[in-house]
Amino acid sequence: MRRITDPRDFGRVAVALGGTSSEREVSLNSGANVLEALRARGIDAQPVDGIPALIEAAQARRIDRVFNVLHGHRGGGEDGVLQGALEALGVPYTGSGVLASALSMDKIRSKQVWIALGLPTPRYVRHRPGDDVRLAVNELGLPVVVKPANEGSSVGISRVFGEADLPAAVALAARYDGELLIEQLVVGGEYTVGILGDEALPSIRIVPAGEYYDYHAKYVSDDTQYLCPGLAGAAEAEIRALALAAFRTLGCSGWGRVDVMRDREGRNFLLEVNTAPGMTSHSLVPKAARAVGIDFETLCWRVLESSFRGEGA
């Protein structure tokens, strides 16, 4: 990754935020924080809401590069669509490329890659409209997690402990586009590992006040505990190495976050990779970066440096 010392070298930076995905509000919050941090470091940054406005600005040559903090798909910036458009226009951007973004946004395809390469992830069944959900449950056994395959921020997720709860769980997840993922529930601790450049940041163990780390616990509640590092010694080294491997095998680059479950026997299971993680006051990559002495402004600078891939050292 090219290291930049002069803010003028970044040129005119568009902070891509908002959009039309289910994660719009989180993206607006993230984008406002990133915009403030970049401007505080002397970078010429401006907010641009959504992909159409961003493409228009790029075509008009009003921007030189993009800090992508659009979340989600279908109007978000994590599914490869934005990346493809910017590459066609020759505009550099932060984070992963087209294929890696598309793979990471699709939890089913991510799992297929990991399983093919021997990386651990919970057992699962793909659920399409019209499929018999009880067959999936019979194959996996209860309890299971039912979720949309292409959403983030805990949108549309249910944990199912009895067959009577299945119809409501499927109905909730089916509000969102695409296939559903029915996944074996791993009972244990929830962890996340931020990636910055070629390094895994310290893990974070997430301890919600309630039973689960849901949307409210992520973005609203101030009672959730974040323990960083989440593990120690060999266990911490193991989870960081696994997260970095998961990130690389999907072809990801620049920065991101890998979510992991750790069961009561100490086995790690990969859940998903986020290629444009949240940058809100509750977000986890900033917390992990801070644990190793990287403040929020410096983190945003470092992420923006990832937009220089292929532009020389």
Which residue among the candidates 31, 278, 283, 307 is catalytic per the annotation? 278
Which residue among the candidates 65, 257, 262, 302 is catalytic per the annotation? 257
Which residue among the candidates 219, 240, 254, 268 is catalytic per the annotation? 219
Which residue among the candidates 19, 23, 77, 253 is catalytic per the annotation? 23
Q: Is 183 designated active site?
A: no
Which residue among the candidates 49, 106, 183, 259 is catalytic per the annotation? 259
Question: How many other CB atoms are found less than 10 A from the CB of residue 115?
Answer: 14
Which residue among the candidates 49, 190, 272, 305 is catalytic per the annotation? 272
Q: Is 33 designated active site?
A: no
Q: Is 138 designated active site?
A: no
Q: Is 23 designated active site?
A: yes
Q: Is 153 designated active site?
A: yes
Which residue among the candidates 29, 110, 153, 268 is catalytic per the annotation? 153
Which residue among the candidates 22, 110, 150, 274 is catalytic per the annotation? 274
Amino acid at 186: V
Q: Is 96 designated active site?
A: no
Q: Is 150 designated active site?
A: no
| Contact call for residues 305 and 39 (beta carbons, < 8 A) | no
Q: Is 259 designated active site?
A: yes
- Three-class DSSP category at 86: helix
Catalytic residues: 23, 153, 219, 257, 259, 272, 274, 278
